[in-house]
Amino acid sequence: MELITVSKKTEKHNPELAAIFHQMASCYRYLGAKHRFRVMAYDSANRTINNLKNDISEYAGKNDGLHELKGIGESIGEKIIEYLHTGKINTFDQLKKKVPLGLLELMDINGLGPATVKTLHRRLHINNKEELIAAIEAGKLENLKGFASKKVENIKRGLKLFKQAHSRMLLWDAQRTGEDILQQVLQLPGIKKAALAGSLRRKKETIGDIDIVATADKKDWKKIVTRFASLPQTDRVLAKGDTRAAIVLKGSGTQVDLRLVQAHEYGAALLYFTGSKEHNIALRALARAQGYKLNEYGVFDAVTDRKLPGTTEEEIYRLFDLQFIPPELREAGREIETARKKHIPGLLQLKDMKGDLHLHSTWSDGADEIETIARYICKEFPAYEYIVITDHSPSERVAHGLQPADFTDLFREIERINKKLGKNLVKKGAEVDILANGSLDLPNELLQHLDWVVASIHSGFKKDNTERLLKACANKYVNCIGHPWGRLINRRDGYDVDWNKLFEILNKTGTAIEINAQPDRLDLPDYLVKEAVAAGVMIAIGTDAHALTQFDFMQLGVSVARRGWCEKANILNTHSWKRMEQFRKIKLQWGNSDKL
């Protein structure tokens, strides 16, 4: 295979190439079952490229570099080389002649599989999303065989989620984009200080626009605005004034706003543009009650208009006799009253985490061998005392779930790796399926030999799953309920759950509940995390990592926990493994479902 010469300043090919492979998989999926192996191959290539830490061209520039990547065989490797040389893939161009691109977009909408899209295309001549919406509004789907009212409602719900996905970025994507732009802003001549603001700083699960607040001498503002508007990622300029510039980014269409202020205004501006709107309104009301005015320029005496000292957020909160309120809590709930009483807790920090309780290896659907994962953790996360391999169980056939007999070999492999590492880093676990009747798809005789058991629902998303979850909690070998709501942000709504009942049983049985840190899950969401903690439930944060780059998702899990007002003590994997074993022993002593 031909090598690619990599320049020092490599372009970012991964997002576009992964998107092409995703669309190729969709084309073959539309063309029928005879192409199922091609669908699997291109889906796998898409996942691999999305999970790469470095640009694909760097692997293409090494002998056998592409072949070392999981899911990249000779045929797909040749297409990668073709793309890097020409910017296109001929096979994809040919596929687009057979399957209109508008139909591929439809297949990305939840509730619209290949068969449904084919029917809509052949019977109603629908070629894209806009035509589908028009057909629904005209009532044309109601006359189609197989399109009952419930199916049409599911399609409408899928369209709504699809619209949300294209108007708001996932936190992880926004964070990476925002940090990239911020670093470029910090390098602009004249910039003294700059920070991300808005909902991104508050770590909301989806982000609309990216806000940056910066300080510089006034004489440099015009030059800074011009240079910001000319950043290489700029698709178009929305605004270009004396103190503000707004651009739209290529590809994502995300708006980025830059606000310039003077040094003495920076704290007030950062506070104001971080929000939330409701938090700012509450703060301004408090300021008025104390005879002050608060805006993005500072705090002023309401009568004399004299500016009060306060160049940082901490100083401004102190002026109102408030404890500093971390950005994640600024949602105008109870944070201001709590800060007045000086009861804002010391929130969880990333450095508090001692291990990862949910991850996958090549033993099921992960991209990396267990030893590779272990060595990566030792290098990149030296503070971790343990990681738990929680590969899938038999019911997850698509994820190559393990059969009971496979665990003997898995245990030997983990023991071999720990011996090689000279420490007991890797723990034996599993992510077991909660079946429709609430039972598990692995026997207790096997579960009792595991160090950690995560029980999750992977099917039946359209019904109330409370009873399934309760029955899983009642199994004395289940330590944690994984991604408990089953949602995929902007793609699939969570199923119905009686949360009060679930939290009661979790607490009663000594079962933890997970914050799954995958960017499109963040499940349990922050407001339910708060309720779980109030009910006395312990929280476990797991990355659900399927590739090395995904261990960084732990920071997302920590952000969700912080928004849920979690302290270190609320999070199970801030503790030593000895404490984890004590947690498990208490559950074992509780017993089984007859005590519910």
268 in any annotated domain: no
Domain assignment present for residue 84? The answer is: yes
Residues 301, 182 share a domain: no
The model's pLDDT over 116-158, given as tens digits with 9 standing for 90+, comes to: 888 888 888 888 888 888 888 888 888 788 888 888 888 888 8
Residue 540: exposure state from Cβ atoms within 10 A (0-12, 13-18, ≥19): buried
Shared-domain flag, residues 99 and 57: yes
Q: What is the pLDDT of residue 120?
A: 87
What integer is the mean pLDDT of 91-107? 86
Domain-located, residue 318: yes
| Per-residue pLDDT, 6 | 40
CATH number for position 322 = 3.30.210.10
Q: How confident is the model at residue 10 (pLDDT cuts 50, 70, 90)?
A: very low
Residues 289 and 430 in one domain: no
Whether residue 162 is found in the same domain as residue 202: no
Residue 4 belongs to some domain of the structure = no
Buried b (16+ CB within 10 A) or exposed e, 141-170: beebeebeeeebebbeebbebbeebeebbb
pLDDT of residue 436: 94
Residue 469: pLDDT above 60?
yes
HEC secondary structure over 361-396: CCCCCCCCCHHHHHHHHHHHCCCCCEEEECCECCCC
Q: Write down which residue in 261, 289, 315 finishes a domain.
A: 261
337 plus 397 within the same structural domain: no
Query: Could you tell me the CATH number of the domain that includes residue 478?
Result: 3.20.20.140
The band of 63, judged by pLDDT with boundaries at 50, 70 and 90, is: low
Helix (H) or strand (E) holding 539: strand 539-542
Q: What is the CATH number of the domain that holds 117?
A: 1.10.150.110
Whether the model pTM is above 0.85: yes
* Residue-number span of the structural domain to which 314 is assigned: 274-344
pLDDT for the residue numbered 486: 95
Q: CA-CA distance, 497 to 467, in Å (whole number)?
A: 9
Residues 6+ apart with CB under 8 A from 166: none
CA contacts within 13 A on the Cβ side of 411: 11
- DSSP β-ladder status, 512-516 and 234-240: unpaired
Residue at 121: amino acid letter = H
- Whether 266 maps to a domain, the answer reads no
Same domain for 300 and 377, yes or no, is no
Lowest mean pLDDT among 3-12, 18-27, 452-461, 483-492: 3-12
- For 509, residues 6+ apart whose C-beta sits below 8 A from its C-beta are 473, 474, 587, 590, 596
336 with 365, same domain? no
Quick one: which H or E segment has residue 104? helix 101-107
Calculate mean pLDDT across residues 14-34. 88
The CATH number covering residue 234 comes to: 3.30.460.10
- Residue 211: inside a domain: yes
Same-domain pairing of 427 and 545: yes
Where helices occur in 276-405 by DSSP H, the ranges are: 277-289, 313-319, 335-340, 370-380
412 and 339 share a domain?
Answer: no
Residue 15 reports pLDDT greater than 90: no
Q: Which of 167, 198, 227 is the last residue of a domain?
A: 167
Cβ neighbours for 187, distance < 8 A, ≥ 6 positions apart? none
Segment 335-356 mean pLDDT? 97
For residues 446 and 386, membership in a common domain is answered with: yes
Averaged pLDDT of the chain: 91
Q: Rounded CA gap, 537 and 571, in Å? A: 10
With pLDDT > 70 as the criterion, what percentage of the chain qualifies?
96
Decide if 530 is inside a domain: yes
Q: How many domains does the chain have?
A: 4
Same structural domain for residues 140 and 229? no
Mean pLDDT of 427-450: 96
∠576-580-356 over CA atoms, to 5°? 70
Which residue is it, tokens 């670093």?
183
pLDDT digits (tens, 9 = 90+) for 283-323: 999 999 999 999 999 999 999 999 988 889 999 999 999 99
Q: Is 118 domain-assigned?
A: yes
Share of the chain above pLDDT 90, in %: 66
Stated length of the chain: 596
Predicted confidence at residue 419, as pLDDT, reads: 97
Which pLDDT belongs to residue 401? 84
Q: Which of 313, 344, 375 is the last residue of a domain?
A: 344
152 and 224 co-located in one domain: no
pLDDT at 3 over 60: no
**What distance separates the 2 farthest-apart alpha carbons in the chain?**
79
3-class DSSP state for residue 519? coil
Task: Write out the DSSP string of 46-90.
Answer: HHHHHT-SS-HHHHHTSTTTTTTSTT--HHHHHHHHHHHHHSS-H
- 76 vs 489: CA distance, rounded Å: 30
Q: Which of 31-45, 247-261, 551-565 is least confident?
A: 31-45
Higher pLDDT, 87 or 539: 539
**Residue whose C-alpha is closest to residue 178's, from 202, 204, 212:** 212
What's the average model confidence in pLDDT over 528-546?
Answer: 97
